[in-house]
Structure 1
Amino acid sequence: MNIILNDIYQFILYIVVFILIFYVSEKTARKKWNIVRKPEAEEVDSLHKWGKRILWIFFFVTWVFFSSWLKSLLIIMVIGLFDAYMQWKSGEKEYIITLIGLVIFIVFITFGYSFHILSE
């Protein structure tokens, strides 16, 4: 029982650390590049909206029917890159925050599985 609690505390600490890293990185980037925070995530156009929907449906189908975590992570990365590309194409600076979040997500997953924090 004590081992399980230790693992849970380690997992929570791991998540909190990465949330803080993202928060500080986002605040720094917004200040440095003068990126205005939008009240909610909005799509650039209908291609962006439908592209994200189709990619998310593909992600859930892959996760539920094939249970492949690697393919699912790759799809999430493609969704992030597609989102950043569409934001960049429209001339928004928000793509910088999206790319920072994507890099932090990749590092989060890589460290988590390397040190067996996220693995079973």
Structure 2
Amino acid sequence: MNIILNGLYQFILYIGVFILIFYVIEKTARKKWNIVRRPEAEEVNSLHKWGKRILWIIFFVNVLFFSSGIKNAVIIMVIFLFNACMQWKSGEKEYIITLLGLVIFIVFISLGYTFDIFSE
């Protein structure tokens, strides 16, 4: 029981540290490049809206039926890249924040698997 709680505390601390890192990097980037905050759920056009919906459906189907951690991470990375591409095409600067989020997500997953944070 103690091993499980220790692992849970370690996982919560790991997630908290990465949320804090992303918050600091996002605030710094928004200030440096004058990026106005916009609602995350706001899509650029109907292709963006339907593309995100289809990609999230693929992700949830994969989670429910195949449960492969690496495949799920790759699908989330594709969703980040699709969002960034659509934001960039519309001329918004928000794509910079999306790409920074992608980089932090890749580091989060890489370090998590390297140090066995995600095991059991």
TM-score (normalizing by structure 1): 0.95
Which residue number corresponds to residue 50 of structure 1? 50
Which residue number corresponds to residue 103 of structure 2? 103
Which residue number corresponds to residue 25 of structure 2? 25
Extract structure 1 runs of 4+ deviating beyond 6 A: none
Which residue number corresponds to residue 59 of structure 2? 59
Report the alpha carbon displacement of residue 62 of structure 1 after superposing the two structures with TM: 1.4
Equivalent pairs, count: 120
Residue ranges of structure 2 left out of the alignment (5+ in a row): none
Counterpart residue identity of residue 94, structure 1? E
Q: Relative to structure 2, which stretch is displaced further, 19-28 or 56-65?
A: 56-65
TM-score (normalizing by structure 2): 0.95
Residue ranges of structure 1 left out of the alignment (5+ in a row): none
Pair 1:73 & 2:73 matched: yes
Which residue number corresponds to residue 92 of structure 2? 92
Counterpart residue identity of residue 50, structure 2? W
CA distance in 1 between counterparts of 2:103 and 2:88 reads 17
Quickly say closer, same or farther: Cα 1:119–1:83, change in 2 above 3 A: same
Between the aligned residues of both structures, percent identity stands at 80
Q: RMSD between aligned alpha carbons?
A: 1.1
